[in-house]
Structure 1
Amino acid sequence: MTNGIDLSGRTAIITGASRGIGLAAAQAIAAAGGNVVLTSRSQESADVAAAQVAGTALGVAAHAVDEDAARRCVDLTLETFGSIDILVNNAGTNPAYGPVIDQDHGQFVKTFDVNLWAPILWTSLVTRAWMGEHGGSVVNTASIGGMGFEANLGLYNASKSALIHLTKQMALELSPKIRVNSVAPGVVRTRLAATLWQEHEQQVCDATALDRIGEPADIGAAITFLASDAASWVTGETMVIDGGQRLGDPTLFRKGATGA
């Protein structure tokens, strides 16, 4: 049990869990007593990630958009643990940095396949295999980028905006058995988001109300909450976890600041 959340006897699949937010979510769910299945593109990276989890963890090679691999992962999870109570659709990518009109079809397809189609695929599989009859919780990893506009991230943010919409759609379609929610992280210390903070970390901190960049564990804790009974009357929602980044420049509001 962690932070009062008890997931003992429950099993979670986390896609894209070899590092960053996915790994942190697996660690948090395991700390709450849950069994976790971590997917990654290669078996080696999945095994390395599973070894970083203090609890019952299994690494499985499954590219998020590979339907056969996803189906095998679902089958293996049921054979090993007997249930799939939680699905965390965390796998994400952003090969399309730059203005939208400069992107080619290949970059578009890869972005939307991983960021939008994969959550549909995995949710469909776990619903038919277990959750449709027994119930469960799905948590999608979106982004605050899906709630606004940023230079050079238009295609990625469009995919995350669509995922936020999809979260609400699936929450209605899969109710009342399955709850579907999403998290919308701000700038977090991950490899995927490195270009947003790595060369100007202090600037990002200064523009954040809570004066720091997010850590994967911050998002992992929120995912664990949404997956648990503590959020049993929450569905179709997107939880923003950004340290106050969407609020605007905090320096104007702090003691001693002067307005124009």
Structure 2
Amino acid sequence: MRQTAVITGSTRGLGRGLAEELARRGYQVVVSAQGEEDSVRAAAEVSPDALGVPCDVSDADQVQRLWDRAVARFGAVDLWVNNAGLALTGQPLATLPPEDFRTMLSINLIGAMQGCQVALRGMTAQATGGRAGRIYTVLGAGADGQPVPGMTGYATTKRALQFLTHSLAQETAGGPVRIGAISPGLVMTEGFLREHRRMVAGPERAARERWVNVIGDHVSTIAHWACDIFASRHEQGAEFVWLSAEKIAARQRDEPGRDILSRYLRDEDGSPATGTQEGATA
């Protein structure tokens, strides 16, 4: 029996990479983003039998509709990934426009909470027929509680998602639904590149690029790692961190010439190279 995966925010970026990797592993995939045209187009590109469903995760009714359409097409949902996220960064909280903070809260936090709620109810119900499921949430900068300059708004939502994961795992302990979270580090997506383009050329940007070449990773690398986790057995509420301090130190020691950015930047203004896969960073 083929399994079915729903990934929110999956027309671009890491979500798109997860959808493609899961399809390669034999999953029936539901691709979703706010726009219907984008969702349908991306689904067709991911797999001939993938389903594209538009969904604004900040709208509870749309999240429920996403679940309902996935079940109507494939019979059940085995894996739900709360990936949809938006990073509006580069400013301290004092100058962050209130609408930016509200938008990040609505998508990053409320969207994930609604995804967990809908998926948990549906998976608990389908477990009576012997088919339960797994729910994973994608974390990001700030989830570990460490302040991130210029990212207080975004990082606050990701810290809250870590708490959500741990609390939901406690609530569902002993039940049929597995809860987990992944922290993918810095992934080369359009979301990151968009923020990077805001920086003017100079010493600060050069220093940032040197650091990105140490800690950055391609979408395909992280997607493969994450999908291995989705298929694993682990403790309820487990959080998996890709970019550990040990990994960073090893790269600095063993890969002094590591270069990630040149694949994505075509010139000194930071524009993405032709054909670069774009998407929202989580």
TM-score range, shorter chain: 0.7 to 0.9
Separation in 2 of the partners of 1:156 and 1:143?
A: 9
2:79 to 77, 86, 101: 86
Partner SS for 2:57: coil
Matched, 1:41 2:17: no
Separation in 2 of the partners of 1:109 and 1:12?
A: 28
Q: Percentage identity across aligned positions?
A: 24
Aligned in 2, Cα 1:96/1:254: closer, same or farther, shift over 3 Å? Answer: closer
Separation in 2 of the partners of 1:33 and 1:58?
A: 14
1:139 — aligned with what?
136
**Deviation digits for residues 171-205 of structure 1 (CA, Å, limit 9, x no counterpart):** 12123311111111222110111256666575035
Aligned in 2, Cα 1:249/1:144: closer, same or farther, shift over 3 Å? Answer: farther
1:215 to 215, 218, 226: 218
Matched, 1:204 2:204: no
Separation in 1 of the partners of 2:19 and 2:85?
A: 16
1:224 — aligned with what?
227
Deviating runs (4+, > 6 A) in structure 1?
none
Separation in 1 of the partners of 2:116 and 2:212?
A: 35
Say if 1:47 and 1:59, in contact at 8 Å, map to a contact too: yes
Say if 2:67 and 2:119, in contact at 8 Å, map to a contact too: yes
2:179 — aligned with what?
180
Separation in 1 of the partners of 2:18 and 2:125?
A: 23
2:45 — aligned with what?
52
Separation in 2 of the partners of 1:66 and 1:132?
A: 22
Partner SS for 1:70: helix
In the TM superposition, what is the alpha-carbon distance from 1:163 to its structure 2 partner? 0.6
Matched, 1:240 2:236: no
Say if 1:142 and 1:182, in contact at 8 Å, map to a contact too: yes
Separation in 1 of the partners of 2:255 and 2:246?
A: 19
In the TM superposition, what is the alpha-carbon distance from 1:23 to its structure 2 partner? 0.6
**Aligned-partner residue type, residue 116 of structure 1:** L
Size of the aligned set, in residue pairs, is 242
1:5 — aligned with what?
none
Say if 2:76 and 2:126, in contact at 8 Å, map to a contact too: no
**Aligned-partner residue type, residue 225 of structure 2:** A
Separation in 1 of the partners of 2:140 and 2:108?
A: 11
Separation in 2 of the partners of 1:246 and 1:18?
A: 29
1:100 — aligned with what?
93
Say if 1:11 and 1:85, in contact at 8 Å, map to a contact too: yes
Deviates more, 1:87-96 or 1:129-138: 129-138
Aligned in 2, Cα 1:36/1:254: closer, same or farther, shift over 3 Å? Answer: closer
Partner SS for 1:111: helix
CA RMSD of aligned residues (A): 2.6
Gaps of 5+ in 1: 1-7
Aligned in 2, Cα 1:90/1:33: closer, same or farther, shift over 3 Å? Answer: same
In the TM superposition, what is the alpha-carbon distance from 1:42 to its structure 2 partner? 0.8
Gaps of 5+ in 2: 198-204, 257-282
Aligned in 2, Cα 1:145/1:106: closer, same or farther, shift over 3 Å? Answer: same
2:62 — aligned with what?
69
Greater relative contact order (Cα < 8 A, sep 6+):
2
Say if 2:4 and 2:74, in contact at 8 Å, map to a contact too: yes
Say if 2:184 and 2:242, in contact at 8 Å, map to a contact too: yes
**Deviation digits for residues 67-97 of structure 1 (CA, Å, limit 9, x no counterpart):** 2221211111111100011100000012354
**Aligned-partner residue type, residue 236 of structure 1:** G
Aligned in 2, Cα 1:144/1:238: closer, same or farther, shift over 3 Å? Answer: farther
For normalisation by structure 1, the TM-score amounts to 0.83
Matched, 1:149 2:150: no
Say if 1:93 and 1:115, in contact at 8 Å, map to a contact too: yes
Aligned in 2, Cα 1:225/1:207: closer, same or farther, shift over 3 Å? Answer: closer
Separation in 2 of the partners of 1:235 and 1:203?
A: 37
**Deviation digits for residues 82-138 of structure 1 (CA, Å, limit 9, x no counterpart):** 001110000001235410122243222211111111111011112222345412111
Say if 1:27 and 1:53, in contact at 8 Å, map to a contact too: yes
